[in-house]
């Protein structure tokens, strides 16, 4: 069978890392696209030159013309600007909305059958706009946030408990922003929920609360350290996991910024929810039960996302 074709729209920090990870995993041939001339070509050639050393068979190429992404099976979108210290994800909205328009049109024209994973921030609003601009089916356009947010949560928890990250599962709902909802009740160490671990004396409620807050601030913590941009290794790894679930029809249960209409009492919006990802794209939105406090936090997050969507509509009248 022919190799899959994976188009990376944006060949910056995340785009380059994505290309390298996809190549190492031999998930398909990779085309890096960017408006910057030379950058996608240079990164593609550099990674291709590492292939004899690492022993992977995956073609790497760079492009500045959308026609090169023709027929892509997967598109991962990181085009746009990233945060600098002092900026929130929401500060990127005006610039990145224009970028989503050109990216959406490019994908619609050349790769209308692709599974599209958006990473550009502010995520929930950008993936919503990208779906509208591209006109692709809602189950084929999704945002990467939940895998990253829960990976951060899992890392902090594994570090606190001194156990393998493999045995920690974590659950994060809501928008990819300060209002995200890490759900402790659904997060476990080898199946033991976090509140039980507090009762067992593995940690304290105060420490757990601090970890939850650190998870919410996870992106800002990296921005503060890097000073010149935002996180790229963990975001790239997270999107690769979603692409792999689609390409291999794994039916993985992964949190993602998915289109929700009906579930959670929501209508026609993108927000972070648990999903099943397989060959059909987002094959299912998993509607979990929440208690009143959890529901209030989720609603707060939904309201923040709605505010960003409204801001997009105010900027671009074609978005309804």
Query: Which residues are known catalytic residues?
Result: 176
Is position 238 an interface residue for ligand APR (rule: CB under 6 A)? no
Instruction: Say if residue 216 carries a ligand binding annotation.
Output: no
Instruction: Say if residue 10 carries a ligand binding annotation.
Output: yes
Q: Nearest to residue 12, comparing CAs of 218, 228, 219, 227? A: 228
Residue closer to ligand APR, measured from CB, 123 or 290: 123
**Which range touches ligand APR (CB under 6 A), out of 45-53, 91-99, 131-139, 208-216?**
91-99
Q: Which of 4, 79, 117, 168 binds ligand APR (CB under 6 A)?
A: 79
Do 58 and 26 form a contact (C-beta atoms < 8 A)? Answer: yes
* Strand ranges for the chain from DSSP E: 5-9, 29-33, 60-63, 74-77, 115-118, 141-143, 168-169, 172-173, 181-182, 188-189, 192-193, 252-260, 269-278, 281-285
**Which range touches ligand APR (CB under 6 A), out of 113-121, 208-216, 263-271, 286-294?**
113-121
- C-alpha 122: how far from chain center: 11
Instruction: Say if residue 14 carries a ligand binding annotation.
Output: yes
Number of H helices, E strands in the chain: 10, 14
Three-state secondary structure string covering 174-225: ECCCCCCEECHHHCEECCEEHHHHHHCCCCCHHHHHHHHHHHHCHHHHHHHH
Three-state DSSP state, 238: helix
Residue nearest ligand APR, CB atom distance:
12
Instruction: Say if residue 89 carries a ligand binding annotation.
Output: yes
d(CA 79, CA 8): 9
Instruction: Say if residue 265 carries a ligand binding annotation.
Output: no
Is position 175 an interface residue for ligand APR (rule: CB under 6 A)? no
Q: Which of 14, 222, 242, 297 binds ligand APR (CB under 6 A)?
A: 14
**Which range touches ligand APR (CB under 6 A), out of 5-13, 44-52, 108-116, 245-253?**
5-13
Q: Which of 153, 171, 232, 270 binds ligand APR (CB under 6 A)?
A: 232
Residue closer to ligand APR, measured from CB, 188 or 215: 215
Do 109 and 115 form a contact (C-beta atoms < 8 A)? Answer: no
Eight-class DSSP state of 268: S
Residue closer to ligand APR, measured from CB, 78 or 131: 78
Binding site for ligand APR (CB under 6 A): 9-15, 34-36, 39, 78-83, 92, 96, 99, 102-103, 119-121, 229-230, 232, 235
Annotated binding residues = 10-15, 34, 83, 89, 96, 119-121, 152
């Amino acid at each position: 069978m022919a190799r899959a074709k994976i188009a990376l729209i944006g060949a910056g920090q995340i785009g380059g890392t994505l290309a390298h990870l996809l190549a190492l995993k031999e998930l398909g041939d990779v085309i890096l696209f960017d408006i910057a001339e030379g950058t996608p070509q240079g990164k593609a050639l550099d990674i291709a030159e590492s292939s004899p050393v690492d022993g992977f068979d995956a073609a790497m190429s760079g492009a500045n013309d959308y026609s090169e992404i023709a027929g892509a099976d997967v598109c991962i979108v990181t085009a746009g600007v990233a945060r600098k210290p002092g900026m929130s994800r929401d500060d990127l909205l005006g610039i990145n909305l224009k970028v989503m328009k050109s990216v959406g049109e490019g994908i619609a024209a050349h790769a209308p059958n692709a599974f599209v994973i958006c990473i550009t921030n502010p995520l929930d609003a950008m993936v919503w706009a990208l779906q509208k601009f591209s006109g692709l089916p809602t189950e084929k356009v999704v945002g990467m946030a939940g895998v990253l947010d829960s990976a951060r949560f899992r890392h902090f928890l594994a570090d606190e408990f001194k156990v393998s990250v493999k045995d920690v599962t974590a659950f994060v709902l809501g928008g990819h922003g300060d209002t995200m909802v890490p759900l402790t009740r659904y997060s476990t160490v080898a199946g033991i929920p976090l509140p039980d671990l507090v009762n067992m004396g593995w940690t304290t409620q105060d420490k757990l609360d601090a970890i939850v807050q650190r998870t919410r601030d996870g992106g800002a913590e990296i921005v503060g350290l890097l000073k010149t941009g935002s996180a790229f290794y963990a975001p790239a790894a997270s999107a690769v996991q979603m692409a792999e679930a689609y390409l291999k029809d794994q039916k993985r249960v992964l949190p993602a910024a998915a289109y929700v209409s009906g579930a959670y009492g929501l209508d026609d919006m993108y927000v972070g929810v648990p999903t099943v990802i397989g060959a059909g794209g987002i094959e299912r939105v998993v509607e979990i039960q929440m208690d009143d406090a959890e529901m209030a936090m989720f609603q707060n997050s939904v309201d923040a996302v709605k505010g960003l969507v409204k801001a997009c509509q105010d900027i671009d009248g074609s978005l309804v």
